[in-house]
Amino acid sequence: MGKKPLNEQQVKILRKMLAGRRLHTLLLNLGVDTMLRASDLLKLKTKDVMHESREPKTEVKIKQKKTGKHTLLMPLSENSRDAIKMFLIDTNMDDYIFTGQLSHLTRNPITVKQYGRIVKGWMKLLGVEDLDQYASHSVRKCKATVIFNKTRNIDAVRRLLGQSSVTATSSYIGVTDNSALELARNINV
């Protein structure tokens, strides 16, 4: 079934625990809001989320490397906009957002592998025992899973994730035969 998504409660707790930590706060908030694959998320630059006027954008549209298509115009939450204001206000518009300690030398963002280790570190902070169940996909799946659980609209989630088939999306977010049967049990016609 793949990696588990972060849930809303975990995200709320992490926001408090990570407050003031530039890289972590931006990764968490922008990762949840944009639902981008790690490879696309890590390539974001300041200009992708901030206007020339230095105001955070309220929505972003990103070209996906894997599909070559653009995402829908994804709304940025107040949490993301606040993080952008706090941490990116003095950065160059062409700078990568997700820079690590050596980025001043390499001029590159952190790697997907580093991002995965960061997510595992967050889960360790939360006291999760089986860290292998979580990775960067856990952040991408978070909002998509919450949207699906609240609406049961798999096609909307497919579009938000930029996936080509409902089957792939169902598998990705873990819609199982049991969850489908649970719906059938709870709805009487």
pLDDT band at 153 (very low <50, low <70, confident <90, very high): very high
pTM over 0.75: yes
Which architecture does CATH list for 1-189? Orthogonal Bundle (1.10)
Q: How many residues does the chain have?
A: 189
Looking at this protein, which amino acid is placed at residue 177? D
Q: What is the mean pLDDT of residues 78-91?
A: 96
pLDDT tens for 109-129 read 999 999 999 999 999 999 999
Q: If DSSP codes are grouped into helix, strand and coil, which group holds residue 70?
A: strand
CA distance 58 to 48: 11
Residue with the bigger pLDDT between 189 and 101: it is 189
CA distance 181 to 177: 6
pLDDT(183) > 80:
no
**CB proximity list for 6: less than 8 A, separation 6 or greater:** 14, 32, 134, 138, 139, 141, 142
Give the whole-number percent of the chain exceeding pLDDT 90.
81
Cα dihedral across residues 28, 33, 39, 44: positive or negative: negative
- Mean pLDDT across the chain, nearest whole number? 93
Q: How does DSSP classify residue 164?
A: S
Q: What is the mean pLDDT of residues 62-72?
A: 92
